[in-house]
Amino acid sequence: MADPLLSIKNLSVQFFTYQGVVRALEEVDLTIQKGEVLGLVGETGCGKSVMARSVLRLIPDPPGKITQGEILFKGEDILKVNRKRLREIRGNEISMIFQEPMSSLNPVFTVGDQMEEVITLHQEVDRGRAKEICIEMLQQVKMPDPERVLSKYPHELSGGMRQRVMIAMELSCRPDLLIADEPTTALDVTVQGQVLTILDDLVRRIGVSVLFISHDLGVIAQLCDRVSVMYAGQMVETALVGELFADPRHPYTHGLLQAIPSIDEERDPLMVIPGIVPRLIEPPEGCRFYPRCTKRFNPCDKIVPKLVQVNPGHHVACHLYPRESEKS
């Protein structure tokens, strides 16, 4: 297999607060290949947003600190590059869109101003050409009447339109990787449908790799090629999307899939994962899912399970699948 575009190894992130040390990410691995859409799914507190921000070194320090690990992007370790190279990467080679577009768009500048700013920052073009690029991109995201939209302010646009502007802006420099952190969570379902269709289409056409973060398994199933599941700061399972949904190996993944009410089948009562997500301040030793796991046994509460391959492309971190029995 070719070298992955992004390869995160052994990443640990901690936050130092008055109440104690929050171990937000614990030795996490992740890879994204060129041209693939990787879904990162997990519930509140699992660390997916922290992971996304780590890639661009956006973790506020203090109180946060990347305590170990490496993030290899096109062969370079992002954690070690100098400021100048980091600026080149941000927005240009790796772009990011967020959940709430109102906070990423500056309310006192027009959409046009902001888009042009992004373009002229990274590309050697004059303002006229920049404006043309803006209009092209807005057409790519199926924005009606792009010229008029450029002269509007963010609050004059609806949520769905703002997200499309964000997508257009972040893809205008043709990045290698797009990180999308819950981009449609705040949108109504019909608008979400539109935005996801546009995003899917555009991404395939341009050939951008995507790290798509969401807690919504439906969206993940629709959009992604491969999926990684996180729980309480640990990576618990990674597989091709079809295989993850058809044959989830980790008890948490299995529980999560069972807990969603389904339009198609009767589930009464919904299968429940008992208990609640643990606090990350003094996390339990060993597997963090241990207290809620129905399949737990002896080593689970003492030793952290590592990701092990159970099928080609399918990795699970669970003592049910121990290292020794790994066969390819």
Partner 1 sequence: MNPVIEAIDLVKYFPIYGGLFGRKVEYLKAVDSINLTIYQGETLGLVGESGCGKTTVGYLILNLLRPDRGKVLHNGVDITTLQGNELQRVRRNLQIVFQDPQSSLDPRMLIKKTVGYPLEVNRLARGNEVVTRVKNILGEVGLDEDHMYRYPHEFSGGQRQRIGIARALITGPEFIVFDEPTSALDVSVQAQILNLIKELQRRHGYSYLFISHNLSVIKHVSHRIAVMYLGKIVESASRLSLFDRPLHPYTRALLTSLPKPDPRKRHTLGVLSGDVPSPVNVPSGCRFHPRCPQRMEECVHLAPSLAEAEADHWVACHHYGFTDYQERRSQ
Q: Judged by CB under 8 A, which of 100, 113, 216, 301 binds partner 1?
A: 216
> 7 and 44 in contact (C-beta within 8 Å)?
no
Q: Looking only at residues 229 through 268 of this chain, which bind partner 1 when binding is defined by CB under 8 A?
A: 241-242, 245-246, 255-257, 259-264, 267-268
Helix then strand then coil, in percent of the chain rounded to 5, is: 35, 25, 40
Q: Which two tokens stand for residue 307?
A: 């990701």
Q: What is the DSSP string of 146-190?
A: HHHHHTS-GGGS-HHHHHHHHHHHHHTT--SEEEEESTTTTS-HH
C-beta of 200 vs 301, nearer to partner 1? 200
**41 near 229, Cβ under 8 Å?**
yes
Closest contact distance (angstroms) between CB of 253 and partner 1 is 11
Q: Find out whether 30 and 8 touch, Cβ atoms under 8 Å.
A: yes
Q: Give min distance, CB of 15 to partner 1, in A.
A: 18
**Torsion sign over Cα 62, 63, 64, 65:** positive
**Should residue 196 be labelled a site residue for partner 1 when binding is judged by CB under 8 A?**
yes
Q: How far is the CB of 43 from partner 1 (least distance, A)?
A: 4
In angstroms, the CA 238 to CA 314 distance is: 6
Q: Does 270 bind partner 1 (CB under 8 A)?
A: yes
Among 54, 114, 140, 192, binds partner 1 (CB under 8 A): 192
281 sits near partner 1 (criterion: CB under 8 A): no
22 binds partner 1 (CB under 8 A): no
- Using CA atoms, how far apart are residues 136 and 112, in angstroms rounded to an integer? 12
Interface with partner 1, residue 155, by CB under 8 A? no
114/165 Cα distance (integer angstroms): 10
- Asked if residue 311 binds partner 1 (CB under 8 A), the reply is no
Nearer to partner 1, 153 or 245 (CB): 245
Contact residues for partner 1 (CB under 8 A)? 43-44, 158-161, 188-198, 215-223, 241-242, 245-246, 255-257, 259-264, 267-274, 276-277
